[in-house]
Amino acid sequence: MANQLCIVLDFGGQYNQLIARRVRECGVYCEILRYDTPLSEIAARKPAGIIFTGGPNSVYDESSPHIGKEIFSLGVPVLGICYGCQLVAYTLGGAVSACEKSEYGKIEITADAESVLFKDVPQQSTVWMSHTDFVSRLPEGFTVTAHSADCPCAAFENPAQKVYAVQFHPEVTHSVFGRQILHNFLYEVCGFTGDWVMDDFIETTVQRLRAEIGDKKVVLGLSGGVDSSVAAALLSRAVGRQLTCVFVDQGLMRKDEGDFVEQTFTKLFDMNFVRVNCGKQFLEKLRGVTDPEQKRRIIGTEFYNVFWDKIRETGAEGFFAQGTIYPDRIESGRGNEAGQGSTAVIKTHHNMVKMPEDIQFDGVIEPLCDLFKDEVRAVGEKLGIPSELVWRQPFPGPGLGVRILGEITEEKIRILQEADAVFRDEIEKSGIARELKQFFAVLPDVHTVGVMGDHRTYEHLIAIRAVTTDDFMTADWARIPYDVLARVSNRLCNEVAHVNRVVYDITSKPPGTVEWE
């Protein structure tokens, strides 16, 4: 049975995926659609609630994303957030003006009237605001339900029409009761029952996969990353040995990672597991290459050559499976990326693979294509994948290849693997790992002079990188405590052969990127 659906209409704001994730955390299935999706299409999906997102524009800009007022005649409850709130007012005949004083950051609001949206929310609470326009005149039939010192209309509504609007961002954790407000909209206004539950997802997906695959075979490219690992575990639960996972180890993974992936999938899950060790072959191809883009190209091309050759050898029968997740579809434009006014799409990495023409499967299966990363992790945990894998940090496709600057050699790989393992171990031990989104070592291909005992040394410099971020579009360098940095530095110089100096990368993104190449 299909889940009840909430539609998030994307007007190009930066928190759009966050809104969708928060809705799902409330146990409600939702999808992000472009703001200009035809009304008939929206109606055909039979949503029980619609949320207008924020956006970077002003409703009076001609080029801003707008919407016809017919959407309010569907009889489906609407919640407008930030730009979406102003759009509700503008579309229904109210007025929006520039603020005398813009509001940005944590702001105190006061509830002015009884509202189901503010059920179980104190009369005064902190919310996250970010706006330079405000609703200066309400459409007919609406009343203000909250204000702040500088915004007379922080929330308004027309309960009879089931239209609600908030100037602040309930999806951001700084809005202390934001989750409650979204919950109230979904459950009290829209009447959702909370049928989006990960246990049910596993069961229904397994049933669906069994029905779709029948007695055919499935081949999955396993990278050792979270998404393909969870897809593998789910497919294994559905069809066991009809599944073959092909794992290409290009020799550029972290220390012992290839063996760990093999152990996990051969010992804990029922499937055919094929590991292709081709580190030497990759090193041959990379000999003498120092240009970052050329390295990426070679590693990428070689990876798929090896992968598809293995598929040809094992036989391209049945279905091809991939670990595509929901944000991959949004980012790549295959799904519902906002057009005008959309947030800049910077990330181009995704899980979608172009298949060579001579390889013909019966179809492609993407069992996780509706899930956000947090949901993929929840499914992975329920399926019994070890937490090292489920909570694995993002790791670039070209692996350590983009963390060894200059030419890649066997010795440099070994030094970096050791250094990276020591750094990660120390961060884990210090208990700050969960606060950091990514932390790793880089080998900048720089030698420096040092002293050890009575000897002069001339050895490698190691750089360490640790970032905090919400979405990797921007990132800040992590303020790791000095004593942790001191232990890391000591251990790197003492335990890793050929290292005599350590530096900490204190560059945010932008202007830097997370990776060095």
Q: Residues with catalytic annotation?
A: 82, 169, 171
Contact 431, 440 (CB under 8 A): no
Q: Which stretch binds ligand XMP (CB under 6 A): 85-93, 310-318, 383-391, 393-401?
A: 393-401
Q: Does 349 bind ligand XMP (CB under 6 A)?
A: yes
Q: What does the block give as tokens for 473? A: 């579009």
Q: How far apart are CA 277 and CA 195, in angstroms?
A: 44
Angle at the Cα of 134 (from 474 to 92), degrees rounded to 5? 110
Q: How far apart are CA 470 and CA 26, in angstroms?
A: 20
For ligand XMP, the closer of residues 378 and 442 by Cβ is 442
Site string for ligand XMP, 295-334 (x = CB under 6 A): ----------------------------------------
Q: How far apart are CA 189 and CA 79, in angstroms?
A: 10
Judged by CB under 6 A, the chain residues 45 through 64 that form the site for ligand XMP are: none
Phi, psi of 420 (to 5 degrees): -65, -40
Q: Which of 391, 472, 477, 504 binds ligand XMP (CB under 6 A)?
A: 472
Q: What is the DSSP letter of 273?
A: E
For ligand XMP, the closer of residues 386 and 396 by Cβ is 396
Q: How far apart are CA 73 and CA 93, in angstroms?
A: 15
Q: How far apart are CA 13 and CA 124, in angstroms?
A: 26
Q: Which of 292, 394, 406, 450 binds ligand XMP (CB under 6 A)?
A: 394
Q: Which residues, including other chains, have CB under 8 Å from residue 28's CB and lie 6 or more apart?
A: 4, 6, 49, 186, 192, 194, 195, 196
Q: Which of 152, 396, 406, 444 binds ligand XMP (CB under 6 A)?
A: 396
For ligand XMP, the closer of residues 362 and 515 by Cβ is 515
Q: Which of 155, 222, 235, 514 binds ligand XMP (CB under 6 A)?
A: 514
Q: Does 78 bind ligand XMP (CB under 6 A)?
A: no
What is the smallest separation between the CB atom of 388 and ligand XMP, expressed in angstroms? 17
CA distances (Å), 261 to each of 5, 64, 221, 276, 421, in order? 36, 48, 13, 12, 16
Contact 462, 443 (CB under 8 A): yes
For ligand XMP, the closer of residues 203 and 374 by Cβ is 374
For ligand XMP, the closer of residues 12 and 224 by Cβ is 224
**Element spanning 343, H or E:** none
For ligand XMP, the closer of residues 101 and 349 by Cβ is 349
How many chain residues bind ligand XMP (CB under 6 A)? Answer: 11
Q: Which of 397, 406, 444, 450 binds ligand XMP (CB under 6 A)?
A: 397
For ligand XMP, the closer of residues 472 and 477 by Cβ is 472
Beta bridge partners of residue 97, listed in sequence order: 134
How would DSSP label each residue in 36-70?
A: T--HHHHHHT--SEEEE---SS-TTSTTS----GG
Q: Which stretch binds ligand XMP (CB under 6 A): 120-128, 258-266, 323-331, 392-400?
A: 392-400
How far does the chain reach from its first CA to its final CA, in angstroms? 47
What is the smallest separation between the CB atom of 440 and ligand XMP, expressed in angstroms? 8
Q: Does 399 bind ligand XMP (CB under 6 A)?
A: no
Q: Which stretch binds ligand XMP (CB under 6 A): 185-193, 448-456, 479-487, 507-515?
A: 507-515
Residues of this chain that interact with ligand XMP (CB under 6 A) are: 349, 394, 396-398, 438, 472, 509, 513-515
